[in-house]
Structure 1
């Protein structure tokens, strides 16, 4: 059963298994020290390194992108502490499979053999299934090592997280990927048929995924290439790894957060980069436009009232032109928002006024500003004493508009940035007139 459910999350390596085996298998590490790119965990000061040194393993969740060595690390960890390795995949197994695993672990436990249960894609188990692990983890039947590409905070039960330490595996950087290329050349005895620039392009194309890189290398070795390829030749021969981007998961929210904060920080270059990341990965342009519209209202507001107009115009332009021409309008809106003066005064005013409305309930407005469409309403004072502002000096009466039982509030505090500086001057002017005329 272990082979049936085992993951193919292979990478890094040391010595060959057999010449006929896939390159990833031939380069599979035999010790934790041979796993590249995760030294922050496997080194002497890392969490895994300390567990191995102590000879005691607690339940852990390995969280990281594809191709970073989660399965390999778990397998080598079991070897390092002398535990029986039992792998399953949440994609292919269910309750019946788990019961068999737990029963086998109990039997081995009676003989003194401890079991490391490795659950690949653990986030794919539902909440009830995740709860099913708890008693067997607590009584020591198994030590759980789960692997996930998704944020455990969102995908795993709090009860399970409280019993396991989350360890983050990093996306493999260029240096780690270069180590894999060096090992591939050493185990095959053949240099890669690439010039220096193409080699660099190959590393970049892997996007931090060691398994993908080794698959690309194996393809290169399988083809008879007479002369080293340049980047153009490599691009024509191999495909680039599709960027990791799940529209309903963390990658989506990370990038939109980065876009929003780059806009707020007035960095047009970074904002364009994150927006391009989303669109290139297949995000719906209208989603990006909705976020730009929200940003224009929330983070620019009246500091530049044209920002909202620009974003809505970009939406109309995209609807009219479609893709790819319509993306230029999205870029223009993005740049406008990034370079506009910023103010969240309108957003803060909304929050404050909504809170006040909830807190004060059903206070009646002052009678002088109420309409009186019937004789009865006029008789009881509706509209009495209303001052028509257009008939007042400066077009401003300075009358009171607040409920009689409520102190006037200040929700909107314009900044001194952009157009809001002029609004602030106008509000100050009205406040001075109101004070002079004794209404406020």
Structure 2
């Protein structure tokens, strides 16, 4: 694994891999000081830096994207504090493997050597399996270092999380990725056969994944080229990295949240970017459109009633055309909503009215607005005194429609933006008529 980080205490270097080993293995750090990209953790003031300086590790969960150094840092941590290193993968291991690892760790503990148990893809263990770690972590049989690409708060048991620090690894930035290329050029004793623009494009294509970058670099070194590649030549020569996106995991929720916030912030360019991120990564187009349609009511509402119409028209167009032609209709709806005047007045009115309905129970409406289909109902006052609004000069009676035991409530408060400005003017006019006529 070619994930590298930033440095700490001096250690004995690990044996060098054979010369025909993959480039990623040949560049694997032999000590924490060789690692790039995660100074916030491994530097003197970082959580890992402090633990290594003290010579004592606590259990931890390393959370970060692929190719950022989770496995490498775990192995180097064990070396830095003199722990026995054992690695298992939740993809290939079961209960029997865990029991064996714990039993061996207990035997070594009796001989005075503690074990760092590294569990790759720890989120793939189910809840019961994760609970199995608890007694061995609590009594110090193992120092657990778990690695995950998924949000631990969703995927790791709360009991296990409470016994481990969650340390967040960042995707490798352009500077860190550039350092990997420089190291590769040094070990290969030749420059990478690309021009400066192609070098930048290669770094950008890695999307923060050091392992992916080094695999691409090794491919470039493996062929004889007549001249350095430019960006177009590089694109034709190498595969392009597929964006990391799990439709049922955190990446999915992060991007839909970013889309919603960009729409709310009236930034059509950012909204279009996040829409493109989701659709090009394989998200279901109608899922995204459903969220935009919800936005049209929640964050635009009556400030521009056409927003909801645009979204529903986009649904019809997409179902009629399919992908990719129908995706343009989703883009149109997205841009319309991003540039529309914003109001959450309808959304807030709904929440307030629902809350009031739950609190007031079964209050009866005033008798004057109840239908009276039977003589008995007429005799007890149903419909008595009802003012038919259309019979008034202004088409407005100003009657009180609230239950007798309930004061009128201002659930809906239109803003002064877009069409709601006209609605606010109408409501203010009706309020003034009510006051003149002694109504609610």
Normalising by the smaller structure, the TM-score range is over 0.9
Aligned pairs for 1:293-372 within 5 A? 293-372=293-372
Shift of 1:152: 0.5
Q: In the TM superposition, what whole-angstrom CA distance separates every residue of 1:134-184 from its partner, at most 9, and x where no partner exists?
A: 110010000000000000011111111111000000000111100110011
Q: Show the counterpart of 1:281.
A: 281
Q: Is the 8 A contact 1:370 1:383 kept in 2?
A: yes
Q: Which runs of 5+ in 1 are unaligned?
A: 1-8
Q: Show the counterpart of 1:409.
A: 409
Q: What TM-score results when the alignment is normalised by the length of structure 2?
A: 0.96
Runs of 4+ in 1 over 3 A off after TM superposition: 12-16
Q: Is the 8 A contact 1:123 1:150 kept in 2?
A: yes
User: Secondary structure of the residue that 1:354 maps to in structure 2?
Assistant: helix
For 1:39 and 1:408, locate their aligned partners in 2 and report how far apart those are by CA, in whole Å: 60
User: Secondary structure of the residue that 1:294 maps to in structure 2?
Assistant: helix
Q: Is the 8 A contact 2:2 2:24 kept in 1?
A: yes
Q: Is the 8 A contact 1:371 1:382 kept in 2?
A: yes
Q: Is the 8 A contact 2:4 2:68 kept in 1?
A: no
For 2:34 and 2:337, locate their aligned partners in 1 and report how far apart those are by CA, in whole Å: 47
Q: Assess, with a 3 A threshold, how the Cα gap between structure 1 residues 16 and 114 changes in structure 2: closer, same or farther.
A: closer
Shift of 1:18: 2.0
Q: In the TM superposition, what whole-angstrom CA distance separates every residue of 1:53-104 from its partner, at most 9, and x where no partner exists?
A: 0001000100000000000000000000000001011111111111100100
Q: Is 1:94 paired with 2:86?
A: no
Q: Is the 8 A contact 1:366 1:401 kept in 2?
A: yes
Q: Show the counterpart of 1:25.
A: 25
User: Secondary structure of the residue that 1:266 maps to in structure 2?
Assistant: coil
User: Secondary structure of the residue that 1:403 maps to in structure 2?
Assistant: coil
For 1:273 and 1:123, locate their aligned partners in 2 and report how far apart those are by CA, in whole Å: 30
For 1:207 and 1:433, locate their aligned partners in 2 and report how far apart those are by CA, in whole Å: 63
Shift of 1:16: 5.5
User: Secondary structure of the residue that 2:181 maps to in structure 1?
Assistant: helix
User: Secondary structure of the residue that 1:395 maps to in structure 2?
Assistant: coil
Q: Is 1:439 paired with 2:431?
A: no
Shift of 1:390: 0.2
Match for residue 3 of structure 2 among 1, 5, 11: 11
For 1:28 and 1:418, locate their aligned partners in 2 and report how far apart those are by CA, in whole Å: 59
For 1:31 and 1:174, locate their aligned partners in 2 and report how far apart those are by CA, in whole Å: 22
For 2:265 and 2:124, locate their aligned partners in 1 and report how far apart those are by CA, in whole Å: 37
For 2:439 and 2:159, locate their aligned partners in 1 and report how far apart those are by CA, in whole Å: 60
Which deviates the most, 197-206 or 290-299? 197-206
Q: Is the 8 A contact 2:4 2:37 kept in 1?
A: no
For 1:386 and 1:35, locate their aligned partners in 2 and report how far apart those are by CA, in whole Å: 81
Shift of 1:330: 1.2
For 1:262 and 1:103, locate their aligned partners in 2 and report how far apart those are by CA, in whole Å: 52
RMSD (Å) for aligned C-alpha atoms: 1.2
Q: Show the counterpart of 2:78.
A: 78
Q: Show the counterpart of 1:4.
A: none
Aligned pairs for 1:13-412 within 5 A? 17-412=17-412
Q: Is the 8 A contact 1:12 1:24 kept in 2?
A: no
Tell me how many residue pairs correspond in the alignment. Answer: 432
Q: Is the 8 A contact 1:75 1:85 kept in 2?
A: yes
For 1:163 and 1:145, locate their aligned partners in 2 and report how far apart those are by CA, in whole Å: 11
Q: Show the counterpart of 2:425.
A: 425
Q: Is the 8 A contact 1:10 1:71 kept in 2?
A: no
Which deviates the most, 137-146 or 314-323? 314-323
User: Secondary structure of the residue that 2:147 maps to in structure 1?
Assistant: strand
For 2:421 and 2:143, locate their aligned partners in 1 and report how far apart those are by CA, in whole Å: 62
For 2:185 and 2:19, locate their aligned partners in 1 and report how far apart those are by CA, in whole Å: 13
For 2:232 and 2:392, locate their aligned partners in 1 and report how far apart those are by CA, in whole Å: 75
Q: Is the 8 A contact 1:16 1:27 kept in 2?
A: no
User: Secondary structure of the residue that 1:62 maps to in structure 2?
Assistant: strand
Q: What TM-score results when the alignment is normalised by the length of structure 1?
A: 0.96
Shift of 1:17: 2.2
For 1:116 and 1:155, locate their aligned partners in 2 and report how far apart those are by CA, in whole Å: 22
